[in-house]
Amino acid sequence: ETGVTQTPRHLVMGMTNKKSLKCEQHLGHNAMYWYKQSAKKPLELMFVYSLEERVENNSVPSRFSPECPNSSHLFLHLHTLQPEDSALYLCASSQVGGTGGNEQFFGPGTRLTVL
Amino acid sequence: TQLLEQSPQFLSIQEGENLTVYCNSSSVFSSLQWYRQEPGEGPVLLVTVVTGGEVKKLKRLTFQFGDARKDSSLHITAAQPGDTGLYLCAGVMTSGTYKYIFGTGTRLKVLA
């Protein structure tokens, strides 16, 4: 139990669908992250919400849209995805500032397949 | 472009053998973390090293941070099948907001 939950765990969608991934952290952290993990590639940071400020990777296509309504919840809205977007999408949280070790706690991920 | 190269990419060894995984970069990091990821799960933090030259031990795992804080190594003594997994290093930069640069990963399989 990592304190970070993600739903759904698996998702299959067509290129014209709209879906959302959900992440919830129960650790009281003040930063949340979306990562993409593809085969044979390093973990790619997509979006960060830290202290209510959004920081994004400029190379992420606009068909991915994050939403962070509060410090415990994070969504990734998906629309008109491409087959190359198929990957494991990981959510993480951390505590920014303070005396912590900047440790990130990851959820189990959503395995996304785009047909 | 900041990059963390890990080597080897794949490693298959017999139970009881020793191994070392390397994580190298041209960038200086505030700290460096090692994670292990098992199939169907997210990465789980093993250790954070902060000081150049620091050595940390976690049972049979020994982690070292390079003196210049650009590289790190993970040494496993007497590997066991339970050590099987994907090992990821992550460099942490704390200029402004926190930034995590993940390595390319080392997939380890320990055979019984």
- Residues of A within 8 A of B30 (CB-CB) are 102
Residue type at position B49: V
Task: Using CB atoms, pick whichever of B33, B42, B103 lies closest to residue A107.
Answer: B42
Is the Cβ–Cβ distance between A91 and A8 less than 8 Å?
no
Q: pLDDT tens for residues B5-59?
A: 999 999 999 999 999 999 999 999 999 999 999 988 999 999 999 999 999 999 9
Q: Give the helix/strand (H/E) hosting A78.
A: strand A73-79
| Residue A99: per-residue pLDDT | 61
Task: Using CB atoms, pick whichever of B4, B33, B100 lies closest to residue A45.
Answer: B100
Q: Do A92 and B42 touch (CB under 8 A)?
A: yes
What is the Cα–Cα distance from B35 to B45, expressed in whole angstroms?
4
Which residues 10-69 on chain A approach chain B with CB closer than 8 angstroms?
A: 31, 33, 41-43, 45, 48, 50, 53, 55
Q: pLDDT tens for residues A41-74?
A: 889 999 999 876 777 777 899 999 999 999 999 9
User: Is A7 near chain B, with CB under 8 Å?
Assistant: no
| Tokens at B74, concatenated | 């993970």
- Residues of B within 8 A of A57 (CB-CB) are none
Q: Do A102 and B94 touch (CB under 8 A)?
A: yes
Strands B99-102 and B85-93: antiparallel
pLDDT tens for chain A, 115 residues: list them: 559 999 999 999 988 889 999 999 999 998 999 999 998 788 999 999 987 677 777 789 999 999 999 999 999 999 999 999 999 999 999 888 766 557 899 999 999 999 9
pLDDT band at B95 (very low <50, low <70, confident <90, very high): low
> What is the maximal distance between C-alpha atoms in chain A?
45
Q: Do A2 and B100 touch (CB under 8 A)?
A: no
| Tokens at A67, concatenated | 């939403």
Q: Is residue B34 classed exposed, middle or buried when 0-12, 13-18 and 19+ CB atoms within 10 A define those classes?
A: buried
For an interface test with B, the pick among A24, A102, A106 (most B C-beta atoms closer than 10 Å) comes out as A102
Residues of B near A (CB-CB distance < 8 A)? 3-4, 30-31, 33, 35, 40-45, 48, 50, 88, 90, 92, 94, 97-105
**Residue A26, C-beta contacts closer than 8 angstroms, at least 6 positions apart:** A3, A4, A5, A72
Strands A87-94 and A31-37: antiparallel
Query: Which residue of chain A is at minimal alpha-carbon distance from B47?
Result: A103
Mean pLDDT score across all residues of chain B: 92
